[in-house]
Structure 1
Amino acid sequence: MASDTRLQGARIRSLRKLKGLTLMQLSQRTGLSHGYLSQIERGISQPSVASLVEIAQALGVTMQWLFSDPKEGCQGEDRPHHERLVRKDQRIEIEYQDGIVDQLLTPRSNNNLEVIYSTYPSGTRSEPYSHKGHEAVLVLRGTLEVEVADERYVLEEGDCLSFTSSEPHAHRNLSDGETTVLWFITPASF
């Protein structure tokens, strides 16, 4: 994961410089400290979900832009289908500082819909964040608490919740074991 963290940091630094921003300006746009952003860019720290959303929004990109695409090295028959097909071993994967792992199941080129497979270790919790669009979450295994604005929902296996993504939302695994969910987000913002 360390090389993924360094690659992610390098992509953030590269895009920040391309946009002509200093670390201090990015800090002001995101509300994240200059030192923390520097650590992220150098691959020393992994950002939380909320921090990554802030960085991506401040840089004017979706979160997936900040990560390498396993399909870039794709050969053979899958190459022509990259606009439609994502094989299991070709998913873009993001691991956050708290151990939450997201895998993008839809192609990067799909700007209308994203489907994300997420795993939450026991007790993990995201910070509240918001973004444009709408989303729904379906619990595949475990128990996930989702807070939207000031309302809390406890979702069990098979439960599905939908909401407007511009409302601050956070989630927490209430299970003793791992919880897995599918997120459906429109438009693409991951």
Structure 2
Amino acid sequence: MRTIGNKIKNLRLQKGLTQEELGERTDLSKGYISQIEREISSPSIETLFSLLEVLGISAKDFFDEDTLNQKVVYSQKDVTRYEDPEQGYHVTWLIPESNEKEMEPVLLRLAPGGHFKAYEPSGSETFVYVLEGAVTLKLGRESFVATQGETLYYKASEIHQLRNDSKAETKVLVTATDSYL
């Protein structure tokens, strides 16, 4: 069962918001958002409803743990997309409620010189399969490069980031456990 803080964090990330942006939209501080996500603080009902409104989800859907009507097949109309042209990436969440699951599969396209967000250390395990091009994983102080047909698999125990240091677009399938994206 997912915690309230973990659900909020995953919804925020799925919407492509930083803690600061979510805080600005809800009149909460970045630090307080961080405390909620890490389960250090619990939001009041009013604060929770404010967060859910900004995150675009009803309280019923947020708390619904019903797996009896499990969806198995997903189509293009189910995906959620976010693009950041400044950072040079386009992310597609392949399963809409993956933020509620134990793993979160996404399709990530990186423009030449593009990079995805840098993430803090976590307990997540991450699988990256390179569909096209080449991707560089910065994991702590080390860098690892994988090319088309190769796979990266790592524990996210250090600051980590996916980058495209090549001159061609890169496309990767990323699946992370728990709360990577």
**Aligned counterpart, 1:114:** 104
Partners in 2 of 1:168 and 1:15 — Cα distance? 27
Question: 1:68 deviation in Å?
Answer: 5.7
Bigger shift: 133-142 or 89-98?
A: 89-98
| 2:92 maps to amino acid | Q
Question: Is the 1:8–1:67 Cα contact (8 Å) retained in structure 2?
Answer: no
RMSD after superposition: 3.3
Name which of 4, 12, 18 aligns with 2:22: 12
Question: Is 2:110 the partner of 1:123?
Answer: no
In structure 1, runs of 5+ residues without a counterpart are 1-6, 31-54, 70-79
Higher relative helix content: 1
Question: Is the 2:127–2:176 Cα contact (8 Å) retained in structure 1?
Answer: yes
Partners in 2 of 1:148 and 1:113 — Cα distance? 20
In the superposition, relative to structure 1, how do residues 68 and 138 fare at CA in structure 2: closer, same or farther (>3 Å)?
Answer: farther
Name which of 133, 137, 141 aligns with 2:132: 141
**Aligned counterpart, 1:180:** 171
In structure 2, runs of 5+ residues without a counterpart are 1-14, 39-51, 58-67
**Aligned counterpart, 2:82:** 94
Q: What whole-Å deviation, never above 9, does each CA across 1:60-107 have from its counterpart, x for those lacking one?
A: 29xxx87668xxxxxxxxxx9773332113211121241301111124
Question: 1:189 deviation in Å?
Answer: 4.2
Question: Is the 1:142–1:177 Cα contact (8 Å) retained in structure 2?
Answer: yes
**Aligned counterpart, 1:154:** 145
TM-score by length of 1: 0.59
**Aligned counterpart, 2:37:** 60
Secondary structure of the residue aligned to 2:152 is strand
Post-superposition, which runs of at least 4 consecutive aligned residues in structure 1 deviate over 6 A?
Answer: none
Partners in 2 of 1:135 and 1:166 — Cα distance? 11
**How many equivalent pairs are there?**
137
TM-score by length of 2: 0.61
| 1:128 maps to amino acid | A
